[in-house]
């Protein structure tokens, strides 16, 4: 009887192993498990028969039965793991979204002109030895105004010009109105010498027109080192202008005022449309404003713990959409937000 039971056990084990190898799905595997562990299953039958053996037989067949069962348990677990991986892969494949349909066709997507320009501007400044810094678009009053020497009643701080966010104390959190707060963040976190540019999106309560948007991009520049003078600023702007707009386009600085630079200037380039003769686009001046700049005000350096007796520097900030507009001869800036494929495919 004992050897018969051994044979039966071997047959049941072989059959179970074949079944395992054939099980192609998790459902089939579960079904198989039910068969060989169920009441009517071959193993249970052997188990019941063991009850009728003598002590020696019970020991021998019982041990073999337990070993066969635990072997099978491991095999089932291994098979289950393989099937689970395969089923997950099949599910992912069947649910995959193909977003690449137009790749390889003439309608290939590409970066928006403004983004292309932003990268191009970064490249120009990287070539001049600057690094790129970034700051948050949701800013606090300290970085956007206070540390930049804006007095409490300054018009830019009013809700006429600025989008405030309902967070914290009233009028303390806002969508940054310029990239200049990145100057403060950089100076708070780095020691001079500092040579950075910081491009990014800014927000103003502005009614869009041909030269203004309410959401637009600026690129900020900041240099802090020993012995930096206004001529370094002028030279930097001239180098940039030639590199980005090409030779023959000249920049000029015109006295202006910003709370965080002293002296300050507006940075203008020769009007692209009339080459300086004066036309409607440049209001007959021959020049178009690109941005503001100046020597970093000693109050700003003091606010971030840099000694103005030891260090000096300059900063500038100009509009990226303005650069785009000038270089690509776009008479109305609003088209940059229109998503009109006829414009987008041209660049």
Residue 326 within binding range of ligand FA5, rule CB under 6 A: no
Please return the burial class of 214, using the count of CB atoms within 10 Å of its CB with bins 0-12, 13-18 and 19+.
middle
Min dist. Cβ of residue 143 to ligand FA5 (A)? 12
Min dist. Cβ of residue 289 to ligand FA5 (A)? 5
Among 19, 192, 199, 291, binds ligand FA5 (CB under 6 A): 291
| Distance between CA atoms of residues 268 and 288, nearest Å | 5
Min dist. Cβ of residue 92 to ligand FA5 (A)? 45
Say how many residues touch ligand FA5, by CB under 6 A. Answer: 25
67-97: burial string, b at 16+ Cβ within 10 Å, e else: ebbeebeeebeebbeebeeeeeeeeeeeeee
Q: Enumerate residues 187-216 that contact ligand FA5 by CB under 6 A.
A: 204, 206, 212-213, 216
Residue 180 within binding range of ligand FA5, rule CB under 6 A: yes
Dihedral Cα 69, 74, 76, 80, nearest 10 deg: 160
Give the side-chain half-sphere CA count within 13 A for 322: 20
Among 289, 308, 327, 328, binds ligand FA5 (CB under 6 A): 289
Residue 135 within binding range of ligand FA5, rule CB under 6 A: no
Closer residue to ligand FA5 (CB): 14 or 206: 206
Residue 218 within binding range of ligand FA5, rule CB under 6 A: yes
| Distance between CA atoms of residues 213 and 202, nearest Å | 10
Q: Which residues pair with 83 in a beta bridge?
A: none
Closer residue to ligand FA5 (CB): 61 or 324: 324
Residue 33 within binding range of ligand FA5, rule CB under 6 A: no
| Distance between CA atoms of residues 159 and 205, nearest Å | 8
Residue from 240, 292, 227 nearest 126 by CA:
240
Residue 118 within binding range of ligand FA5, rule CB under 6 A: no
Summarize as ranges the residues that interact with ligand FA5 (CB under 6 A).
178, 180, 204, 206, 212-213, 216, 218, 220, 258, 261, 264, 289-294, 315-319, 321-322
């Amino acid at each position: 009887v004992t050897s018969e039971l051994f044979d039966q056990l071997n047959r049941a084990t072989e059959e179970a192993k074949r079944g395992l190898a054939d099980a192609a799905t998790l459902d089939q595997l579960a079904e198989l498990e039910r068969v060989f562990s169920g009441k009517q299953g071959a193993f249970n039958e052997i188990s019941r028969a063991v009850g009728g053996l003598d002590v020696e037989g019970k020991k021998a067949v019982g041990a073999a039965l337990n070993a066969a069962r635990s072997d099978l348990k491991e095999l089932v677990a291994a098979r289950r793991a393989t099937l689970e991986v395969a089923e997950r892969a099949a599910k992912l494949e069947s649910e995959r979204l193909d977003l690449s349909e137009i790749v390889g066709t003439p309608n290939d997507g590409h970066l928006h002109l403004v983004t292309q320009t932003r990268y191009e501007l970064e490249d120009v400044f990287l070539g001049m030895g600057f690094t790129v810094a970034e700051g948050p678009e949701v800013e606090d009053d300290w970085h956007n105004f206070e540390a930049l020497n804006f007095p409490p009643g300054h018009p830019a701080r009013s809700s006429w010009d600025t989008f405030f966010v309902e967070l914290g104390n009233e009028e303390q959190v806002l969508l940054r109105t310029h990239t200049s707060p990145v100057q403060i963040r950089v100076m708070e976190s780095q020691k001079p010498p500092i040579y950075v540019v910081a491009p990014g999106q800014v927000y103003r309560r502005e009614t869009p027109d041909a030269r203004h948007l309410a959401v637009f991009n600026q690129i900020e520049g900041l240099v802090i080192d020993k012995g930096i003078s206004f001529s370094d600023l002028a030279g930097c702007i001239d180098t940039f202008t030639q590199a980005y707009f090409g030779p023959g386009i000249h920049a000029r600085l015109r006295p202006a005022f910003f709370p965080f630079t002293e002296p300050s200037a507006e940075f203008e380039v020769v009007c692209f449309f009339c080459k300086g003769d004066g036309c409607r686009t440049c209001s007959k001046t021959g020049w178009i404003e690109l941005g503001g700049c100046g020597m970093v005000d000693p109050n700003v350096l003091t606010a971030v713990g840099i000694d103005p007796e030891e260090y000096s520097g300059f900063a500038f900030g100009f509009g990226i959409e303005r650069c785009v507009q000038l270089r690509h001869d776009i008479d109305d800036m609003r088209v940059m937000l229109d998503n009109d494929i006829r414009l987008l495919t041209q660049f």
